[in-house]
Amino acid sequence: MIRIGQAGIPLSCKGRTNKDGLRYTKEILDLNAMEIQFVRGLHAMEDEEAEFIRSYSQENDVEIHVHAPYYINLANDDEAALSYEKVLHSAKLADKMGAKTVVIHPGYYDDDEKKTLRTIVKNLKVLQKMMKKEGIEKVNLGIETMGKQKVFGSVEEIFEVCTKVKGVIPVIDLGHIHARCNGCLKEREDFERIFEIFKPLNLSHYLIHITGVLYENGNELYHIPIKKGDMPLMPFIDVILDNKYNVTLISESPLLEHDAVYIRLQVEKAIMKRTGKEEADYRDLSEIP
Ligand SMILES: [Zn+2]
């Protein structure tokens, strides 16, 4: 199953609430996922809106994820306390909305890398306990691969953390991975390697962020439109289709839904190439040999 959507309210949607954005995602864009962004400070969301999002997304088969505020640091015990509040707030709303994942950034390196990993693992466990105490059981914590050298979150590190904290899942941010390795995602094998690393986790689903990215010396500078970036999409789509991976692809490009639709067109092109037909629906992989 392939799901495609964008991070946040579509740019072309006149209404500026998440409720408006969700309806637009389904009814106008015909996409089937959305990642709701609580990234600029703590957003309040009325119960009524959360309820609407839950029932609408279930009835219309749109998968919901939530992104917690960007500034989270679980690698430092003092800052972790503040981070818990932010994540819990996002997780409670995620639970009300029926979201699958609350996405967080793990934190900044302390003095050494091993110690940073241990602290993050310890604090993620604390956070999970807090979520459980709040009765939040269906929302997974997702930790993102990060795009800057001073930030914890290489593919290998995120994998390590996920092996050590049960129930925490990786969020594969392709733009970040590409920036961090200074443009290493070029060929099919480069994308295959990412899935190889996460394979021991036996995941039945992957949440993946996609954007074009401008980078320098292994550090992300800006998100740019997919077509302006130097990370090719097709080899990645080939890997997904050949393995029939169950994925949700979230466009984090500055063009948001425009690039989500671009991803969708590329997926459909790749399906048509395989089936030899002149039509394809990105949701339906059943005819791929
Ligand atoms: Zn993120």
Give the residue numbers spanning the domain of 172.
Answer: 2-274
Q: Are 31 and 6 in contact (CB under 8 A)?
A: yes
The tens digit of pLDDT for each residue in 35-80 reads 999 987 657 789 999 999 999 999 999 999 999 999 999 999 999 9
Residue 67 Cα to ligand 1 middle (Å): 7
Supply φ then ψ for residue 122, to 5 degrees: -60, -45
What pLDDT is stored for residue 144 in this prediction?
98
- Residues 203, 147, 257, CA angle at the centre, nearest 5°? 75
What length is written for the chain?
289
Residue 232 Cα to ligand 1 middle (Å): 21
Residue 15 Cα to ligand 1 middle (Å): 24
Please report, for the domain that includes residue 44, its CATH number: 3.20.20.150
287 occurs within a structural domain: no
Q: Given the DSSP bridges, would you call strands 101-104 and 107-108 parallel, antiparallel or unpaired?
A: unpaired
78 occurs within a structural domain: yes
d(C-alpha 165, C-alpha 161), whole Å: 6
Q: Are 175 and 246 in contact (CB under 8 A)?
A: no
What one-character-per-residue DSSP string does 181-236 give?
Answer: TTS---SHHHHHHHHHHHGGG--S-EEEEE-EEEEETTEEEEEE-GGGSS--SHHH
161: left (phi over 0), alpha (psi -120 to 50) or beta: alpha
Residue 144 Cα to ligand 1 middle (Å): 6
282 occurs within a structural domain: no
Q: What share of the chain is helix, strand, coil (3-state, %, to 5)?
A: 45, 20, 35
The tens digit of pLDDT for each residue in 134-185 reads 999 999 999 999 999 999 999 999 999 999 999 999 999 999 999 999 999 9
Q: Are 5 and 263 in contact (CB under 8 A)?
A: no
Residue 107 Cα to ligand 1 middle (Å): 11
Residue 199 Cα to ligand 1 middle (Å): 22
187 occurs within a structural domain: yes
The tens digit of pLDDT for each residue in 219-277 reads 999 999 999 999 999 999 999 999 999 999 999 999 999 999 999 999 999 999 999 99
Residue 65 Cα to ligand 1 middle (Å): 12
The tens digit of pLDDT for each residue in 133-143 reads 999 999 999 99
User: For residue 106, what pLDDT band results from cuts at 50, 70 and 90?
Assistant: very high
Residue 147 Cα to ligand 1 middle (Å): 10
Residue 4 Cα to ligand 1 middle (Å): 17
What pLDDT is stored for residue 42 in this prediction?
56
Q: Given the DSSP bridges, would you call strands 33-37 and 247-251 parallel, antiparallel or unpaired?
A: unpaired
Residue 181 Cα to ligand 1 middle (Å): 17
State the Rg of the chain over Cα. 18
What pLDDT is stored for residue 41 in this prediction?
60
Long-range contacts of 13-19 (CB under 8 A, 24+ apart): 17/49, 18/45, 18/49, 18/53, 19/49, 19/52, 19/53, 19/56
Number of domains in the chain: 1
Residue 273 Cα to ligand 1 middle (Å): 33
Q: How many other CB atoms are found less than 10 A from the CB of residue 203?
A: 15
Q: Provide the percentage of residues in the chain whose pLDDT is more than 70.
A: 99
What pLDDT is stored for residue 43 in this prediction?
73
Residue 277 Cα to ligand 1 middle (Å): 37
What pLDDT is stored for residue 110 in this prediction?
84
Residue 72 Cα to ligand 1 middle (Å): 10
